[in-house]
Structure 1
Amino acid sequence: MSETSKTVVFIHGLWLHATSWAPWAALFEEAGYATVAPGWPGIPDTVEAARADPESIADHGIDDVVAHYSAIIDALPSAPILVGHSFGGMIAEKLLGLDKAIGAVAIDAAQIKGVLPLPLSSLRSTLPVFKNPANKHRAVSLTAEQFRYSFGNALSDEESQQLFDRWTIPAPGKPLFEAAAANFAPHSPAEVETRNVGRGPLLLVMGGQDHTVPEAITKSTLKQYRHSDAVTDLLEFEDRGHSLTIDGGWRHVADRSLSWLAEHGLGPV
């Protein structure tokens, strides 16, 4: 790989381990990019280790995650491209707004400040965290049934179970509580600099069958960028759910993301 290759930083969301990006990283490297896929702060290097030590994951909020990835970015030879999923998509948006990246793909990104209100399916998806206020400072795991509703609703029972068994880990409750309170907090960590006219291009990707981040959230997010002339595009996969980065159709999403990057001058070199 060329020393001048652009770097792509993959950012996972809640309940999925960073290693779930491995197929994406291999594809992007084949296309000519350098890639890194670091975990959130406190998350061990393997799925098994993360499941065995949920306390290491607990009580990390949005600002912690942004600072963690900012430090990783600052150590790179040049500003990268960001590809994030779910809360990782929101983190990518924040970092792009802060001019930490030259472009970003935010896939089924969690709601940012200004997005109103949350659809019922999204509330049901996050109920495992919100049912107990003490979960703000804990790490919470999903059951296979909860994962089926939140991630795998557009899949067969068998594929949903396979993905649950392979990739799921406990997730900190704090980011969800912070996002839920965003519109009532003057300085919410879920606030994104959407008015930045000089930032790089942003692609918002949504799954039309997503329960966790329904299309209403992504379309409302797009509206938050209306005061910026910077490129903000929307791409919908009508038949896909929240698992679209890890299920059997991941390659289609990845290929479309690569094409979009090339179209906006963000090719590998």
Structure 2
Amino acid sequence: MPDQKRPYPILFIHGLWIHASAWRDWQDHFQELGYETSAPGWPGDGDSVESTRENPETLNDVGISLICRHYADIIDGMPVKPIVVGHSFGGLIAQELLANGYATAAVAIDPAPVKGVKILPFSQLRSGLPVLGNPANKKRTVALTRDQFRYSFGNMLTPEESDALFEKWTIPGPGRPLFEDATAAFVRNSPAAVDTHDAVRGPLLLVSGTDDHVVPLKVTEAVVKLYADNSSRTDFTTVDGRGHSLTMDAGWTDVAALAVDWIRQREQEMTASAVS
């Protein structure tokens, strides 16, 4: 039996190489707690893992700006601005939506770095090489191999669990977002830029797995520092011993519980503020 209806819907945004349906367990969990949820895919995604794998060319040349506009248009059609929960590149998109007034609050889990982060750990570089290693991939869609997925997403899992997640949820991903993020420091109006300093926005929670290869802890810590002079609320927490698969592996409920607790606290504060 679901809890009473919550005041804000939850919109989930997936990251590169993972289909939106990987949020299904999160949606069920949040719906049981009284939340309306949605998990729309990126522009070009198929309705299922299988259909996206069969037609990867529909994601060719899809970049950050197009993805942001896609979700902004979806939110424009919603009666209430949602709380956005994003993973990986979805976490970067969540921050852009929040900074631009499209979200009430946001949870960014192992988020792709925003413009201004100047460090590039080796594991992050290695994780991006399947795309960044060939400049022609900027306009193409690229699929990970099983071994590449194990290194990037499944490094804290058994090979068996990593391979099972690979088979269940992975899809080819457009190369453009990775190139745009990697070159953000050299592009004046980079689509990976987020107003971390002056945006008046709702609360933001940044979450990092301590053993993430794709977005290492020190990268998310650098993002937190970019928000240091922003007067809007920014919180940060870590999940020990977890890699980039933390939203969909066997321990996903621990991460979901963190998100739920934070969201409910912020809901209470926003309700109290509105009453006063």
Q: TM bucket by the smaller chain? A: over 0.9
In structure 2, distance between residues paired with 1:252 and 1:71: 31
Question: 2:203 aligns to what?
Answer: 201
In structure 1, distance between residues paired with 2:145 and 2:76: 37
1:196: how far off?
3.6
Question: 2:250 aligns to what?
Answer: 248
Alpha-carbon deviations, 1:116-174, whole Å to 9, x = none? 12111000001000111000000000000000000000000000000000000000000
Q: How many residues align?
A: 269
Give the one of 74, 88, 91 matched to 1:89.
91
The amino acid across from 1:58 in the alignment is N
Question: 1:55 aligns to what?
Answer: 57
Question: 1:187 aligns to what?
Answer: 189
Question: 1:135 aligns to what?
Answer: 137
* 1:43–1:56 Cα contact (<8 Å) kept: yes
Q: Which has the higher contact order (CA 8 A, sep 6+)?
A: 1
Question: 2:77 aligns to what?
Answer: 75
Q: Secondary structure at the match of 2:72?
A: helix
1:4: how far off?
6.7
Counterparts in 2 of 1:13-32, with a 5 A limit?
13-32=15-34
Question: 1:265 aligns to what?
Answer: 267
Alpha-carbon deviations, 1:69-112, whole Å to 9, x = none? 00000000011100000000000000000011110000000011
Question: 1:217 aligns to what?
Answer: 219
Question: 1:233 aligns to what?
Answer: 235
Q: Secondary structure at the match of 2:267?
A: coil
Give the one of 6, 10, 13 matched to 2:12.
10
The amino acid across from 1:108 in the alignment is D
Question: 1:168 aligns to what?
Answer: 170
Matched, 1:149 2:143: no
Q: Secondary structure at the match of 2:118?
A: coil
In structure 1, distance between residues paired with 2:161 and 2:103: 34
In structure 1, distance between residues paired with 2:248 and 2:34: 21
* 2:202–2:232 Cα contact (<8 Å) kept: yes
Question: 2:274 aligns to what?
Answer: none
In structure 1, distance between residues paired with 2:60 and 2:22: 20
Listed as ranges, the gaps of 5+ residues in structure 1 are none
The amino acid across from 1:120 in the alignment is F
1:5: how far off?
3.9
The amino acid across from 1:264 in the alignment is R
Listed as ranges, the gaps of 5+ residues in structure 2 are 272-276
Work out the percentage of aligned pairs sharing the same amino acid.
Answer: 51
Q: TM-score, normalised by structure 2?
A: 0.95
In structure 2, distance between residues paired with 1:133 and 1:48: 27
